[in-house]
A = this chain, B = another copy of it.
Amino acid sequence: MTDDAFLLRPVGRVASPLTDPADAPRQGDEGAPEAYLDFTPEVATALRDLRVGAEVLVLTWLDRARRDVLAVHPRGDASRPETGVFSTRSPHRPNPIGLHRVRVLAVDGLRVRVADLEALDGTPVLDVKPVLGPPDER
């Protein structure tokens, strides 16, 4: 790594019935339950324009991931060849930032209900960005 390091400060937490990594679907449209994003009061201004129905990207800190894993068997399938993590969506990676596309279902003050979030209960939230429309992920 380089000498520099940067400090992330969570802006909220995920509240979800998903508590066991073994139960979590690998991507949000594979059956994730509805979940909540509970934001801290300090970022109320940042989230004030989130609207019901919006498709947004939620960035999280995958706090139960390993940072020393550089290659994995995709989807945990040992029959598949080990692959460098930058070519996988494994949570295990040097900077375990999760990227989740979700739909806003309700906004109630600092609590935002979302569909299709595969993150575990308690996962720190780092950022929310709007989806830009195709081509997305810009």
Chain A residues close to B by CB (< 8 Å)? 1-2, 4-11, 13, 27-29, 40, 42-43, 45-51, 54, 56-57, 59, 61, 63, 70-71, 83-89, 93-95, 97, 99-101, 124, 126-132, 135-138
A59 to B6, CA, bound (A): 14
Consensus secondary structure, chain A interface: loop
Q: Which residues of B sit under 8 angstroms from A132, Cβ to Cβ?
A: 27, 89
22 contacts between A and B (CB under 8 A): A1-B9, A4-B9, A4-B124, A5-B7, A5-B8, A7-B8, A43-B94, A45-B84, A46-B70, A47-B86, A48-B71, A48-B84, A49-B87, A56-B86, A88-B129, A88-B130, A89-B129, A95-B127, A97-B97, A99-B138, A136-B136, A136-B137
